[in-house]
Amino acid sequence: MDDPDSLNRRLKAARDRQGLDKPEAVKGGLPTSSWGFGLRAGVEVFSALVVGVGLGFALDRWLGTWPWLFVLCFIVGAAAGVLNLYRLFTPRSGARKD
């Protein structure tokens, strides 16, 4: 007969194949509920846009180039928002492995 652990091992392998066991959440990670995640994504885009618009507005007032730097910074801010989103969706490497 098999050793007693073999059943557990095969059971574990079978459950993994079917995806029945949820992967253990990284300890101390950010909450990942769908609502929280959505709000986080919104805030990330919004804040990058705010910085872009604010920076463009201030630079234009200073240099008197309205509206060109505003338009440019708006686009750069939007790109930064997308970058923030990309960072949000890319799993971070934990510090323990460094």
Partner 1 sequence: MAVEGKAIDALGQFELGTVLGPVGAAVGFTQSNLYMLISAGLIFVLMMSGMRARAIIPGRMQGLAESAYGFIDDMLQAQVGEAGRRFLPFVFTLFMFILFGNMLGLFPYAFTYTSHITMTFTLAGIVFVLITFVGISLHGRKFFGYFFPEGAPLWLAPIIIPVEIISYLSRPISLSVRLFANMVAGHVMLKVFATFVVMLAGLGTVGPFLAVAPLAMNVALVGFEVLVAFLQAYVFAILTCIYLHDAVHLH
Q: Interface residues with partner 1 (CB under 8 A)?
A: 26-31, 36, 39-40, 43-44, 46-48, 50-52, 55, 73, 76-77, 79-81, 83-84, 87, 92, 94-96, 98
Question: In the bound complex, what is the minimum distance in angstroms from residue 16's beta carbon to partner 1?
Answer: 25
Find the shortest distance in angstroms from Cβ 21 to partner 1.
22
Amino acid, res. 47: S
Beta strand residue intervals within 15-95, DSSP E? none
Q: Is 24 helix (H, G, I), strand (E, B) or coil?
A: coil
At closest approach, how far in Å is the CB of 95 from partner 1? 4
Helix, strand, coil percentages (3-state) for the chain, rounded to 5, are 70, 0, 30
C-beta of 40 vs 57, nearer to partner 1: 40
Q: Which is nearer to partner 1, 21 or 98 (CB)?
A: 98
Contacts of 59 (CB under 8 A, 6+ apart): 65, 69, 70, 73
